[in-house]
Structure 1
């Protein structure tokens, strides 16, 4: 199996894992959202990344001491921006509903996260060769996600009613969240100085990318932690931590699955070569959407849906699959 095929497989597998990472939340019965999210954030953004670096990167965390702010700041800042996107995503979903909110956030996050690294690293023209394939893949992905969101709106029309003011503010928040959500990928794309330092310390070049995550995700931890902390104080929900089982275990599992998917994607970027952080990101995101769609079908979310909404949902899968094939070819 070639490195390219390994990279595509890792990106696909990562997308499948992240598409299912929130499934345990359905089993949480007592804890409010802020308790769940605090544990999720601690496990996914701090505990696992730090533990992984201790295991995979020789001399960690001393390698950071020899780096300049110019090496560390981009990944941290982009990670912080992504963390803000996570908080805004939850607000957008409450105002727009899952279907439309997910469509806007994932669509924008994929396009920006795919095209910005390509342009920033000057890997060619957007309208020729691989660049054109990236643009076509993003366009098809946007079409597929848009159709999926439209189908979800038709399905949930009676379940979710929103005032004009709520809708407009929700759409603005979702747009900001979508743009900022691409920063998780940008934190990796612009963290080359960190991974190079890890290689010099003796880390294998294929796994050196994990040294970026503690810096990037530390940035993401800040807004997630403080938002959860603020909700805990406002809602006076601290007492729920006195009963950590089973809700705490499900929350931790969510965090472990999410960071596992992120690590798989990071490993995929190395195997995919120069376009790993562009086409690889799009493949990862598309697989996440497809997995979430299939999970919804299995969970019976479309059981009583109208025929037009089911038709739109089924049609949306074709451009997503086509986009995955085109983007995979762009990495060769």
Structure 2
């Protein structure tokens, strides 16, 4: 039952992450940096402490009592993840929702799942999965099989993106917009690697989550793990994410004088602000439900891979729904659909792996 609920929570979190950029696409007349930092205020600064306050009454004391190294490394990985998130928006801008999310999240999935396992292979910590786990146990082999299937699915999505670019050049489609495969793929690779730092940040902030879990268990004996234990760690992680994003967006706002967007009455200011707030809040929900899924599946590779796979799946589904692939050739459309199918299969395989433990 834990496995079923864990997969369900990861699906909801993946849906939130795969959908958050859709409101941004409805913002009219604003620069990217103007809408990105406004949405970020909600996802990084406003919503996280509210969520922690609602679920962990003593979260401020937990943070205050945490070791300085725990706070420091959690914040540092949050900064690095924030750079990945910053370039994530640019990647989608140049590649579109489907292709951009597939490449960036695919790389993030691989690095985020395997790098902690490499670390724990050399520094053994009770309860943590080392790299040998994936090659010496049935569950580990099943997870690796699901990861390989998901990577193949991501490759097919990438292939579809290349075919799409060729199709656009050949047919000179008018709505090509800002699609640029060369710039987009470079940004996507950087983003994908740095975005994996979020999983490292969760590991670094785990001592705070464990305190929250212990305090909850003292009043809720025999009720399993605390669903919302990670909400306290998210506050520090997202402070780091806000720092890197705020610095860059502030630079762009003054460089491009785009801070004037907020007072440009030729644009629907109130509507744009509301859309940014919705986008930012939706983005935070991915972390909220990721923590719930992790409490049921554990903070191992399976949780991270499932989370990433669901995001890739939903992002590609949105790409099809938003007609980003309209007008492309049949082989291109078959490539993106095949990629989606393989990702769905990989999710089933990884979910099954949890039943083998």
TM-score, normalising length from structure 1?
0.89
Contact 2:228/2:288, CA 8 A, preserved across alignment:
no
Alignment-derived partner of residue 173 in structure 2: none
Does residue 215 in structure 1 map to residue 236 in structure 2?
Answer: yes
- 1:196-228 per-residue CA deviation (whole Å, 9 max, x = no partner) reads 222355487221211010001111111111111
Alpha-carbon distance change, 92 to 250 in structure 1, aligned in 2, over 3 angstroms = closer
2:5 matched to 1:6? yes
Distance 1:187 1:64 in 2: 15
1:309 matched to 2:323: no
Question: What is the CA deviation profile of residues 174-215 of structure 1, one whole-angstrom value per residue up to 9, with x for unaligned ones?
Answer: 333211111112211332201122235548722121101000
How many corresponding residue pairs?
325
Change (3 A) 1:104 1:291: closer
The equivalent position to 1:133 in structure 2, one of 138, 142, 167, is 142
What pairs up with 1:79-228 in 2 under 5 angstroms? 79-92=78-91, 101-119=100-118, 120=120, 121-123=128-130, 124-129=132-137, 130-157=139-166, 158=169, 159=176, 167=182, 171-202=185-216, 205-228=226-249
Q: Identify the range of structure 1 (22-31 vs 245-254) with the bigger mean alpha-carbon deviation.
A: 22-31
Shift of 1:173: 4.2
- Distance in 2 (alpha carbons) for counterparts of 1:183 and 1:290: 21
Task: In structure 2, list runs of 5 or more residues that go unmatched.
Answer: 121-127, 170-175, 221-225
Q: Is the 8 A contact 1:57 1:201 kept in 2?
A: no
TM-score by length of 2: 0.84
The worse-fitting range, judged by mean Cα deviation, of 291-300 and 123-132 is: 123-132
Task: Please tell me whether the aligned partners of residues 99 and 150 of structure 1 are also in contact (alpha carbons under 8 angstroms).
Answer: no
The Cα shift of 1:72 comes to: 1.9
CA deviation vs aligned residue, 1:309-330 (integer Å, no higher than 9, x gap): 0121222123212211111012
Aligned with residue 252 of structure 2, among 216, 221, 231: 231
CA contact (8 A) 1:109 1:182 kept: yes
Give 1:245 shift.
0.5
Alignment of 1:272-283 (within 5 A): 272-273=297-298, 276-283=299-306
Q: Deviations over 1:94-137 (max 9, x none)?
A: 66676664443222100111123344223552213222222221
2:320 match: 297
Q: Which residue of 2 aligns with 1:266?
A: 291
Q: Supply the distance in 2 between the matched residues of 1:331 and 1:207 (Cα, whole angstroms).
A: 21
How far apart, CA to CA, are the structure 1 residues paired with 2:30 and 2:327? 30
Per the alignment, residue 124 of structure 2 pairs with none
The answer as to whether partners of 1:14 and 1:262 remain within 8 angstroms in 2 is yes
Structure 1 residue ranges without an equivalent (≥5): none
Note the alpha carbon deviations across 1:70-94, whole angstroms, 9 max, x for none. 2222321211110111223345556
SS in 2 for 1:206: coil
Residue 322 (structure 1) aligned with residue 345 (structure 2): yes
Pick which of 28-37 and 204-213 moved more.
204-213
What is the rounded CA distance, in whole Å, between the counterparts of 1:184 and 1:3 in structure 2?
23
What is the CA RMSD across the aligned residues, in angstroms? 2.3
Distance 1:102 1:206 in 2: 27
Distance 1:102 1:257 in 2: 16
Distance apart, 1:233 and its partner CA: 0.3
Q: Distance in 2 between matches of 1:216 and 1:196?
A: 16
| Deviations 1:1-57, CA, capped at 9 Å, x for gaps | x12211111001211121111111121112211110111111001100011112221
Please tell me whether the aligned partners of residues 38 and 276 of structure 2 are also in contact (alpha carbons under 8 angstroms): yes
Alignment check: 8 A CA contact 1:59 1:201 kept: no
